[in-house]
Amino acid sequence: PNQSPTSVLPLPPPPRYITHLVPNCHFFSVLLASSHTSSNHSLTPPPLIDHPAASFVPAASTDHTLAAAAAGATDRPSMAVKDCGGHKGGGCECHRRRLYRKCCGALLALVLLALFIILIVYLVLRPHKPRFYLQDLAVLCLNVTPPTSAYLFTTMQATVAARNPNDRVGVYYDEADMYAQYKGVAITVPTRLPVAYQGHRDQSVWSPYLRSMDSVVLPPQLAVALAQDETAGYVLVDVRVDGQVRWKVGTWISGHYHLRVNCPALIRVNEGKGSYGATTGGGPDYFRFQQAAACAVDV
């Protein structure tokens, strides 16, 4: 019998590579192999594998082999970065990281801006503490009983001027007291100064009377030292101011700050001759304030 010549099947076309642009901006290549059968000679493309990882599927002669290759590709761990391109389902890790970086950057910018504004305000305003001057100290009476009892009786009038050196900052003086000290011991009771406000480069003057009221008890050694200073002709006392101040910038008023002022005053006794001079016992010029001086101010 005549046998028909063996049918020669045509070679399959070369594999085709189709590149898909997936939402996460990565390119993945999928190999599409054509299966050529001997009966129909028809081209049946295998199904496309939609997987986030890069998968290469070799050409297969049967659908079963192609399905097995696809299953193997699915079992491999994904190496792709999660999509940040607008998927509606689930939270996106890179979206959260990006939002976190933006929030941190905005917060840091606000902090730097606030610090910059504070620095500018401080450099422009920069409140200076007020300046005090002791202009005069009139001692009307200064008597010390014998050292055995050590009682002090004194009356004096202090004239203190305060000046605000600031161009844009006002100063409120609240609850300020003035008194006199000798070697760190108060020899008069505190005298309350009136509440005052100083505008820009304004000046205020106070002239209160400072008294020891009935008497001030001095330690024996301090009474001896005061009597010796009177005999030598010069007595050094300190006029002090303790109170609270507030700063005013525009309509803003700060909190209270403690004000401490110390004004040293050198008193000449009987023209420097001491208590044994010709006018022993006092007189109109028995105690005389030597020289006006600036005061030490601490705020």
Q: What would the pLDDT profile of 68-108 be if each residue is shown by its tens digit?
A: 555 555 555 444 445 555 555 445 778 888 888 889 999 99
In a domain, 10, yes or no: no
Instruction: Tell which wins on pLDDT, 163 or 72.
Output: 163
Q: Are 229 and 267 in contact (CB under 8 A)?
A: no
In a domain, 69, yes or no: yes
Residues 139 and 120 in one domain: no
pLDDT band for 61, please (50, 70, 90 cuts): very low
Token code pair at residue 29: 């290549």
In a domain, 278, yes or no: yes
pLDDT band for 37, please (50, 70, 90 cuts): very low
Sign (positive/negative) of CA torsion 282, 285, 286, 287? positive
Is the pLDDT score of 192 beyond 90? Answer: yes
**What would the mean pLDDT of 208-236 be, rounded to a whole number?**
87
Distance, in Å, from the CA atom of 125 to the CA atom of 168, rounded to the nearest integer, reads 6
Residue 83's pLDDT is what? 52
Residues 144 and 110 in one domain: no
Distance of CA 168 to the CA centre of its chain: 22
Residues 148 and 60 in one domain: no
Residues 102 and 47 in one domain: no
Residues 167 and 190 in one domain: yes
Any residues with CB less than 8 A from the CB of 94 and at least 6 apart, and which? Answer: 81, 82, 84
In a domain, 286, yes or no: yes
Pairing of strands 234-249, 252-253: antiparallel
Q: How far is CA 98 from CA 26, 80, 102, 150, 287, in A?
A: 19, 18, 6, 81, 81
- What is the three-class DSSP state of 275? coil
Distance, in Å, from the CA atom of 152 to the CA atom of 230, rounded to the nearest integer, reads 13
Place of tokens 């009377």: 209
In a domain, 88, yes or no: no
Residues 119 and 155 in one domain: no
Any residues with CB less than 8 A from the CB of 155 and at least 6 apart, and which? Answer: 139, 140, 141, 209, 210, 211, 212
Residues 156 and 207 in one domain: yes
Give this prediction's pTM: 0.60
Place of tokens 């200076």: 128
**What would the mean pLDDT of 52-68 be, rounded to a whole number?**
48
In a domain, 8, yes or no: no
Q: What would the pLDDT profile of 130-162 be if each residue is shown by its tens digit?
A: 999 999 999 988 887 766 667 888 899 999 999
Helix (H) or strand (E) holding 196: strand 196-198
Residues 121 and 137 in one domain: no
Residues 110 and 177 in one domain: no
In a domain, 222, yes or no: yes
Distance, in Å, from the CA atom of 283 to the CA atom of 280, rounded to the nearest integer, reads 8
Q: Domain containing 48: what range? A: 16-75
Residues 148 and 118 in one domain: no
Residue 2's pLDDT is what? 52
Name the nearest CA neighbour of 202 among 299, 294, 130, 257.
130
Name the nearest CA neighbour of 286 among 271, 266, 264, 265.
271
Distance, in Å, from the CA atom of 240 to the CA atom of 166, rounded to the nearest integer, reads 23
Residues 44 and 160 in one domain: no
Q: What would the pLDDT profile of 277-289 be if each residue is shown by its tens digit?
A: 444 455 567 888 9
Residues 154 and 238 in one domain: yes
**What would the mean pLDDT of 216-241 be, rounded to a whole number?**
89
Distance, in Å, from the CA atom of 32 to the CA atom of 15, rounded to the nearest integer, reads 6
Is the pLDDT score of 60 beyond 90? Answer: no
Is the pLDDT score of 224 beyond 60? Answer: yes
Percent of the chain topping pLDDT 70: 64
| Domains: count for the chain | 3
In a domain, 212, yes or no: yes
